[in-house]
Amino acid sequence: MYYTAVQPTPGRPEKIFENNSINDYTAIGLAIADSPDGPFIRAKNNPILEISSDSLDFDSYRIDDAAVLVKSNKIYLYYKGRSKVYGSKGARFTKMGVAMANEPEGPFVKHSEPLIEKGHEVLIWQQNGGVASLASLSKSIYFAKDGLHFVSAQDNLVNFPMAPGLYRPHLEDGNVANEVPGWGISMVQGKGFAYLLRYEMN
């Protein structure tokens, strides 16, 4: 189970995570279990993916939203990144990146450049021998035959899910399912409320 990892905001004795845009960094951790029901134990080399040490990089402040795909015997860990450069406005400049490893526990090596310039969530699925991705910030679906070099395949989407998760039973080699996944859950958020919503995809 890959998950977003946070620490208490530095300098807060009550160990609160403020979710600020200055020093509340995030990373991706890994926990392992013999069953989906757990119990889960954190991997020894946590976190397995951390922010860039170069403040100008697209993932120098936040790394989260892990989505994993097994392709050509490698683990492709797609994630979204935010840069320190944009401060409190960083969410609108979120980009999608990927890191690769030979084993689920890593070590992961980041691809040198972001894959999608406007990709607030990480929503991927296999299609036509490649990888497709929905990016809500650009209202587009992207496609990459190699899983790395994405180009726009459909723009100006309407009625698309926000912050979506996706039922993806066919992300691993050897699974013969190859249809576009049909459903998932997304988040609806407003002032003082938030809830999950099932959506259909066709």
65: domain CATH number? 2.115.10.20
Q: What percent of the chain has pLDDT over 70?
A: 93
Q: Look at residue 178 and tell me whether its pLDDT is greater than 60.
A: no
* Domain assignment present for 17: yes
Could you tell me the residue range of the domain that residue 73 belongs to? 2-166
Q: Look at residue 40 and tell me whether its pLDDT is greater than 90.
A: yes
* Domain assignment present for 192: no
Per-residue pLDDT of 102-126, as tens digits, reads 999 999 999 989 999 887 788 898 8
Q: Look at residue 11 and tell me whether its pLDDT is greater than 60.
A: yes
DSSP letter at 92 equals G
* Domain assignment present for 45: yes
Burial status of residue 90 (CB atoms within 10 A of its CB: 0-12, 13-18, 19 or more): middle
* Domain assignment present for 14: yes
Q: Give me the pLDDT at residue 119, please.
A: 78
- Please, which pLDDT band fits residue 175 given cuts at 50, 70 and 90? low
Task: State the chain's mean pLDDT as an integer.
Answer: 89
DSSP letters along 147-180, please?
A: SSS-EEEE-S--SPPSS-EE--TT-STT----SP
Q: Look at residue 95 and tell me whether its pLDDT is greater than 90.
A: yes
Q: Give me the pLDDT at residue 47, please.
A: 95
Contact 114, 58 (CB under 8 A): yes
Q: Look at residue 173 and tell me whether its pLDDT is greater than 80.
A: no
Q: Give me the pLDDT at residue 171, please.
A: 60
* Domain assignment present for 196: no
Q: Look at residue 179 and tell me whether its pLDDT is greater than 80.
A: no
The total of structural domains in the chain comes to 1
Per-residue pLDDT of 16-27, as tens digits, reads 998 888 889 999
Query: What tokens does 92 get?
Result: 């609108």
Over its C-alpha atoms, the chain yields an Rg (Å, rounded) of 17
Which residue reads 């600020």 in tokens? 20
* Domain assignment present for 65: yes
Residues 6+ apart with CB under 8 A from 64: 4, 26, 28, 79, 80
In the chain the beta strands, taken as DSSP E runs, fall at 2-6, 26-32, 41-42, 62-71, 74-82, 95-101, 109-110, 123-127, 130-135, 140-144, 151-154, 165-166, 183-190, 193-200
Count how many residues are written for the chain.
Answer: 202
178-196 average pLDDT score: 84
* Domain assignment present for 172: no
